[in-house]
């Protein structure tokens, strides 16, 4: 039987849905005993959320003022200290998980599987390489713990249940290092849906031309209840914030509907939207590579089409 | 001497269209253009700027790989690295092994910083920097978009999912680079000539006491599932009708 430990991601008060996706991935391992661990200054509410996820048997909490916000330098040695009973240790393939899990793996002298997109067996997985242009099947050597990050776009969220797993507080005996200090966090606050979990995403590229012009996409997004994304070129040019970047080095997303305006469709961008259910591309260049992956393509000027779309969507 | 170590990896150039071999044993790399991993070029650029600002005296580029990797080391020297180390090794190098080898070099070179790319664009692992920091028992600041040296510590702005996070970490430390950290300089012809005279040491991994093992075996490679061919619509009205009929808007 597998014993799986999942490191919860959260913002200090709420569980990030990425954690739930990790649990869903763990379901595919076969018969497993699943534990979620919450490192936080005040873990109670987060732990209560985690305890409701289907097939989570135990939630462990590690309360410490050093865990607000979470720093890998502090969390990794604590995970390593509690690792021995587990056959698998998973974190999400978000910037949080990517930062943390290799540090854990190295402390355990274990290799890591990055970005699990499918589980073949308890030690065999599929993962994307070369910006998703190839999918490799990998097998982890016998005996070693499987340390991995889970590509959240590849998994549905696990169901939540009425019953609640046992919640237990622990304190791993580790002296926390003093060499890493949090200074500040600047997050663009918005009432729009979160890019990584939104059902609909409206995204803009270099063609938008300015941050002001990007407003037409926000307006359309609000009409659709959509999140707003951007290509790297748009982010580099300062039209959009860095946390809006979609692609190989930005966010990998899987919305029901992705609308790309003035995005050429470079492979590094496409890798971020491969799992979108429906892709709509609007580009004035009929040869743009984005049309090769689009379910619906429309050749035209986005500055004309965006307002038209808004009007047509407002009609009934 | 205040030194910065910059590990660079030779990878298939990011413009190459990747093809999986029909027998599923790997991707086609014969005859394709190879380059320094783009994130590592950014790492090298940052190291050079830190040196130019007077916070470091020497920049050492390192690579672990086969003979061909010397091309990329020469490019790194032409960009401005002072010397290069080539850990000659033909086997598959997993991030953990790379980190162990880099740690051995760090023990010799005692750098104030190791700046790595956040990920190699071939394996897309995004592991080596974090593993190195763990083994070295030093701080890490991954996904850097701004680096400011301040005496014995460094302030790093990181591109994280929620926005921009700033950390202060004590030196020595590991930094991994994100795309917006800087724009790497172009190599000029005279620099390529000069680079030929710069020192490039070849090191045997056995002499470092690191055994190269493979703990994760790749058993099969496949192209990604293709998306089915879509349709072109003629105008906005037709698009909206199509999306409505699918219940998407
Ligand atoms: C290592 C690496 C990692 C990268 N990671 C990412 C990543 O994560 N995400 C990402 O997006 N990119 C990434 N890139 C960059 C990527 O290669 C492309 O450069 C980028 O995606 C291009 O952005 P774009 O499509 O907005 O711009 P362009 O390629 O310049 O395309 C603009 C498009 O807009 C169209 N257009 C112009 N005017 C209009 C108009 N009025 N109406 C309609 N259409 C119009 C044009 O026809 C064109 O197709 C990465 C690159 C590298 C090397
Ligand atoms: N074989 C190698 N030689 C030199 N540097 C490497 C090697 N492999 C990885 N690196 C460094 O580690 C970073 C992250 O690689 P990875 O963990 O494989 O995604 C790269 O951007 C390089 O800076």
Q: How far is A177 from chain B (nearest CA, A)?
A: 9
| Domain co-membership, A276 together with A153 | no
How many other C-beta atoms lie within 10 A of the C-beta of residue A131? 22
Element (H, E) at B162: none
A32, part of any domain:
yes
| Domain co-membership, A150 together with A204 | no
pLDDT at B8 over 70: yes
Q: Which residues pair with B159 in a beta bridge?
A: B164
pLDDT at A81 over 80: yes
Alpha carbon A284 to chain centroid, angstroms? 31
- pTM score of the predicted model: 0.95
| Domain co-membership, A6 together with A136 | yes
Q: Which of A128, A146, A169 finishes a domain?
A: A169
Question: What pLDDT was estimated at residue A59?
Answer: 98
Domain containing A306: what range? 200-315
Q: What is the total count of domains within chain A?
A: 2
CA distance A111 to A126: 16
Q: How many CA atoms lie within 13 A of A299 on its CB side?
A: 10
A185, part of any domain:
no
A94 and A16 in contact (C-beta within 8 Å)? yes
A61, part of any domain:
yes
Q: Where are any strands of DSSP class E within B100-242?
A: 113-117, 140-150, 153-160, 163-170, 173-177, 200-203, 216-222, 231-233
pLDDT at B64 over 90: yes
Confidence of residue B132 (pLDDT cuts 50, 70, 90): very high
Question: What pLDDT was estimated at residue B228?
Answer: 84
Establish whether residue A271 lines the binding site of ligand 1, counting it when its CB lies within 6 angstroms of any ligand atom: no
Q: What CATH number did the domain enclosing A29 receive? A: 3.40.50.620
| Domain co-membership, A147 together with A212 | no
Question: What pLDDT was estimated at residue A171?
Answer: 95
Provide mean pLDDT across the span B72-87.
98
Alpha carbon B155 to chain centroid, angstroms? 21
| Domain co-membership, A35 together with A156 | yes
Question: What pLDDT was estimated at residue A316?
Answer: 58
Q: Count the residues in chain A.
A: 316
Domains of chain B: residue spans and CATH: 3-245 (3.40.50.620)
- Which atom of ligand 1 sits closest to the CA of residue B39? 1
Question: What pLDDT was estimated at residue A315?
Answer: 81
| Domain co-membership, A252 together with A153 | no
A194, part of any domain:
no
Spatial neighbors of A99 by CB under 8 A, at least 6 apart, are A72, B130, B140, B142, B143
Greatest alpha-carbon pair distance for chain B in Å reads: 69
Question: What pLDDT was estimated at residue A190?
Answer: 74
pLDDT at B164 over 80: yes
How does A24-49 read in b/e, with b if 16+ C-beta sit within 10 Å? bbbbebeebbbbbbbbbeebeebbbb
pLDDT at A187 over 70: yes
A10, part of any domain:
yes
CA distance B108 to A315: 70
pLDDT tens for A39-66 read 999 999 999 999 999 999 999 999 999 9
The owner of tokens 């997303």 is A253
A52, part of any domain:
yes
- Which atom of ligand 1 sits closest to the CA of residue A246? 9
**Contact between chains at B224 and A135 (C-beta distance less than 8 A):** yes
3-state SS string for A83-152:
CCCCCEEEEECCHHHHHHHHHHHHHCCCCEEEEECEEEECCEEEEEEHHHCEEEEEEECCCCCEEEEECH
**Over pLDDT 70: what percentage of chain A?**
99
| Domain co-membership, A157 together with A8 | yes
CA distance B107 to A296: 56
A195, part of any domain:
no
Question: What pLDDT was estimated at residue B45?
Answer: 98
Counting ligands in written order, which one lies closest to the CA of residue B88? 2
A81 and A172 in contact (C-beta within 8 Å)? yes
Tokens of B214: 């493979």
Question: What pLDDT was estimated at residue A289?
Answer: 96
User: A252 contacts in B (CB within 8 Å)?
Assistant: none
Tokens of B148: 């400011």
| Domain co-membership, A112 together with A46 | yes
Provide mean pLDDT across the span B54-77.
97
CA distance B249 to B246: 8
Question: What pLDDT was estimated at residue B226?
Answer: 86
Counting ligands in written order, which one lies closest to the CA of residue B9? 2
Mean pLDDT for chain B overall: 96
From A185, which residue of chain B is nearest by alpha-carbon distance? Answer: B165
Establish whether residue A132 lines the binding site of ligand 1, counting it when its CB lies within 6 angstroms of any ligand atom: no
Confidence of residue B86 (pLDDT cuts 50, 70, 90): very high
Q: Is A303 exposed, middle or buried (0-12, 13-18, 19+ CB in 10 A)?
A: middle
pLDDT at A163 over 80: yes
Confidence of residue B227 (pLDDT cuts 50, 70, 90): confident
Q: What CATH number did the domain enclosing A262 receive? A: 3.40.50.1220
Establish whether residue B212 lines the binding site of ligand 2, counting it when its CB lies within 6 angstroms of any ligand atom: no
pLDDT at A209 over 80: yes
Establish whether residue B123 lines the binding site of ligand 2, counting it when its CB lies within 6 angstroms of any ligand atom: yes
A184, part of any domain:
no
| Ligand 1, atom 31: closest residue by C-alpha | A264
Whether residue A127 is preceded by a cis peptide bond, meaning omega within 30 degrees of 0, is no
**Contact between chains at B167 and A71 (C-beta distance less than 8 A):** yes
Alpha carbon B107 to chain centroid, angstroms? 21
| Domain co-membership, A158 together with A212 | no
| Domain co-membership, A226 together with A282 | yes
A54 and A6 in contact (C-beta within 8 Å)? no
| Domain co-membership, A142 together with A216 | no
Question: What pLDDT was estimated at residue A147?
Answer: 98
**Contact between chains at A134 and B223 (C-beta distance less than 8 A):** yes
Interface pTM, i.e. ipTM: 0.95
B120 and A137 in contact (C-beta within 8 Å)? no
pLDDT at A212 over 80: yes
**Over pLDDT 70: what percentage of chain B?**
100
| Domain co-membership, A36 together with A157 | yes
Q: Which of A154, A169, A184 finishes a domain?
A: A169
pLDDT tens for A65-75 read 999 999 999 99
Provide mean pLDDT across the span A288-314.
96
Mean pLDDT for chain A overall: 96
User: B127 contacts in A (CB within 8 Å)?
Assistant: 102, 105, 112, 114
Confidence of residue A9 (pLDDT cuts 50, 70, 90): very high
């Amino acid at each position: 039987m597998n014993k799986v430990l999942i490191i919860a991601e959260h913002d200090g008060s709420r569980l990030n849905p990425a954690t739930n996706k990790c649990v869903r991935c763990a379901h595919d391992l076969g018969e497993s005993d699943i534990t979620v661990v919450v490192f936080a200054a005040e873990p109670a509410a987060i732990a209560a959320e985690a305890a409701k996820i289907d097939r989570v048997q135990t939630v462990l909490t590690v309360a410490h003022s050093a865990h607000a916000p979470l720093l890998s330098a502090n969390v990794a040695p604590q995970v390593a200290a509690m690792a021995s009973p587990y056959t698998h240790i998973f974190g999400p393939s978000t910037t949080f998980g990517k930062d943390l899990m290799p540090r854990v793996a190295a402390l355990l002298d274990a290799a890591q599987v990055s970005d699990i997109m499918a589980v073949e067996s308890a030690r065999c997985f599929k993962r994307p390489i070369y910006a998703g242009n190839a999918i490799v099947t990998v097998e982890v050597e016998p005996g070693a713990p499987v340390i991995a990050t889970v590509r959240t776009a590849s998994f549905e969220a696990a169901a939540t249940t009425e019953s609640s797993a046992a919640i237990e507080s622990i304190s791993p005996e580790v002296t926390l290092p003093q060499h890493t200090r949090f200074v500040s966090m600047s997050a663009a606050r918005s009432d729009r849906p979160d890019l990584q979990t939104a059902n609909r995403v409206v995204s803009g590229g270099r063609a938008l031309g300015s941050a002001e012009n990007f407003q037409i996409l926000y307006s359309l997004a609000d009409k659709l209840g959509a999140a707003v994304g951007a290509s790297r070129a748009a982010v580099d040019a300062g039209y959009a914030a860095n946390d809006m970047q979609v692609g190989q080095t930005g966010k990998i997303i899987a919305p029901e509907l992705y609308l790309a305006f003035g995005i050429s469709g470079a492979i590094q961008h496409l890798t971020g939207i491969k799992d979108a259910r429906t892709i709509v591309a609007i580009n004035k260049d009929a040869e743009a590579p984005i049309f090769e992956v689009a379910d619906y393509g429309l050749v035209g000027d986005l500055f004309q089409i965006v307002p038209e779309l808004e009007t047509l969507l407002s009609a009934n | 001497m205040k030194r910065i170590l910059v590990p660079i990896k030779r990878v298939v150039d990011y413009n190459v269209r990747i093809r999986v071999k029909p027998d599923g044993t790997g991707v086609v790399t014969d005859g394709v253009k190879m380059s320094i991993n783009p994130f590592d070029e950014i790492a090298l650029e940052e190291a050079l700027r830190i040196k130019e600002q007077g916070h470091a005296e020497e920049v050492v580029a390192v690579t672990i790989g086969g003979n061909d990797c010397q091309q990329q080391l020469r490019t790194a020297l032409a960009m401005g690295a002072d010397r290069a180390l080539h850990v000659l090794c033909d086997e598959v190098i997993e991030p953990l092994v790379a980190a162990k080898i880099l740690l051995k070099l760090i023990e010799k070179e005692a750098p104030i910083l190791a700046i790595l790319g956040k990920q190699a664009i071939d394996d897309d692992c995004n592991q080596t920097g974090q593993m190195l920091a763990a083994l070295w028992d030093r701080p890490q600041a991954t996904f850097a978009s701004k680096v400011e040296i301040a005496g014995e510590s460094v302030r790093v702005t990181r591109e994280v999912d929620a926005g921009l996070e700033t950390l202060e970490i004590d030196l020595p430390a590991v930094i991994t680079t994100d795309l917006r950290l800087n724009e790497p300089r172009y190599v000029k012809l005279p620099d390529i000539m000069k680079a030929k005279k710069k020192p490039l040491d070849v090191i045997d991994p056995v002499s470092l006491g690191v055994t190269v093992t493979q703990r994760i075996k790749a058993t099969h490679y496949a192209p990604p599932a293709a998306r089915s061919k879509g349709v072109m619509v003629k105008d906005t009205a037709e698009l909206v009708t199509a999306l409505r009929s699918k219940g998407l808007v």
